[in-house]
Amino acid sequence: MRGPHNIWRLIRTGATFERTGAMGVVLDAFDAPKVVRIAFRTLVWPFKWTGIEGDPSMPPAPRALSALGPAYIKFGQILSTRPDVVGQDLANQLRVLQDKLPPFGIEQAERQIEAELGVPVSEIFSEFSAPVAAASIAQVHKARRADTGETVAVKVLRPGIERAFRTDIDAFYFAADMIETLAPAARRLRPRDVISHFESVVMGELDLRLESAAASEYAANTADDDGFELPSVVWGLSGRRVMTMSWAEGAPLGDNAALDAAGHDRERLSERVLQLFLNHALRDGFFHADMHQGNLKVAPNGNIIAYDFGIMGHIDEYTRRVYAEILYGFIRRDYKRVAEVHFEAGYVPADRDVDEFARALRAVGEPIFGMDATRISMARLLSYLFEVTERFGMQTRTELILLQRTMVVVEGVARSLNPRMNIWNTAKPVVEDYIKTSIGPRAALRDLVQTAQVLGRFGPRLPGLVEAALIRQSEGDGAAKRSSWRVRLGWGGAGAALGAALMLVWHTFA
């Protein structure tokens, strides 16, 4: 599918922006130089008539993105949380992409539910409303269960959404190929890997059984988190294209007027939403990766409610420690340690100078710490850090894409609640707590215990494993002759490793 026909897709994208009037809005929002404006207009204007007209009732930018398809809509949803990047006016326009897109017919939804669950909707629900929210992937209906009377939210995938998304992803791959061909310097960014990662995440969002499982795991991890709650999955009424959950009642987190009217403390909410995200990412390694205002509510008791679990992020323990040390180093302004962590993790090639890298990081961090709290931005830090790591040959880390993207989105959500929020002061206690529990002596003991458990399981096999490894490395006719001392070496190595582990535990607590 990835071929020259995608040139037309990309041309039509620019033409749609021009036809809907979004081109000027976007160029203004990014304060594009005159030469860039002229170049865009010159390239796109002849094809303007090929652009999709979209819904004239929508503002220009969301009109263009919604006309182009679900992948573009997802991009717009991210920008809607970044008024400091695109401006408040455009951010407000893009918020309609979160849960106010045109819905599909209720009859289509009922047919999909019946096909998925094998039972007519009238037998499952005593009440089934028109769509209450419509997003890029699916829409939600409010319903009442016929058997229990419980009010629930029923999520139904858009008809044909899988094919539509594959079309967009196909064009993105073509664009990535063009970038790698025409701009070799950009290969460092691994654009194809980035698109592949994005594809795997979104295609998982198109199977609601996976979303149900993610919601269940997320609920188990966060059950004891103060000020946070999740709706529960109704497994018997969920499947691949339908998902049913308990109804979440509350004020939308993006509606400041409603939050103020309900008496909620927006300053406290802004701190909580950022700290919750950091806790879930660092403590659990499993976090909500689509935490924009359209997926968050505030319950009458002040708890933050999250829903829509189609995009969840996962990072392993080692990556969490690296990320926490980098954040902690910036918070403490210990740029040498931040540089060392990059080298230890293999993020920067070993042949580069660590002291020079530390000085470059200082040039990134110090101007930010000198700013007023309202101007301190994680997005700005990531942007500056990207420039520095590019100079030092760091490649894009695909496993960190969702984490970094969500960090920027959550910062935008927090700032929409409290523009004067100090990101570093809010993040510091969470990161410090993680450092104490995961990188200190207790973490070292836990790692050693796990190592001893692994050695205990594989101990009887170690002689054979060492024997096989040494035979593969050996050359000449003397390999068989040396086998007996290799066996002894295998047992000796196992004993030495276990002995070293026990000695370190003893020294830690002596």
For residue 79, the Cα-to-chain-centroid distance in whole angstroms is 14
Evaluate the CA torsion angle 283, 286, 292, 298 in order and state its sign: negative
Give the helix ranges, DSSP H, for 345-482.
354-369, 378-391, 401-417, 423-438, 441-458, 462-473
**Residue 290 annotated in active site:** yes
Query: Which of 99, 168, 290, 308 is labelled catalytic?
Result: 290
Asked whether the beta carbons of 212 and 238 are under 8 A apart, the reply is: yes
Q: Say how far apart CA 187 and CA 395 lie, in whole Å.
A: 9
Phi, psi of 129, rounded to the nearest 5 degrees:
-85, 170
Q: Say how far apart CA 132 and CA 297 lie, in whole Å.
A: 14
Around 159, how many Cα atoms within 13 Å sit in the side-chain half-sphere?
12
Residue 478 has a CB neighbour count (10 Å cut-off) of 9
Residue type, 287: F
For residue 471, the Cα-to-chain-centroid distance in whole angstroms is 45
For residue 478, the Cα-to-chain-centroid distance in whole angstroms is 55
Give the helix ranges, DSSP H, for 183-304.
191-205, 208-221, 256-261, 266-279
* 3-state secondary structure at position 137: coil
Asked whether the beta carbons of 358 and 338 are under 8 A apart, the reply is: yes
* 3-state secondary structure at position 156: strand
Q: Is 204 exposed, middle or buried (0-12, 13-18, 19+ CB in 10 A)?
A: middle
Which of the residues are catalytic?
A: 290
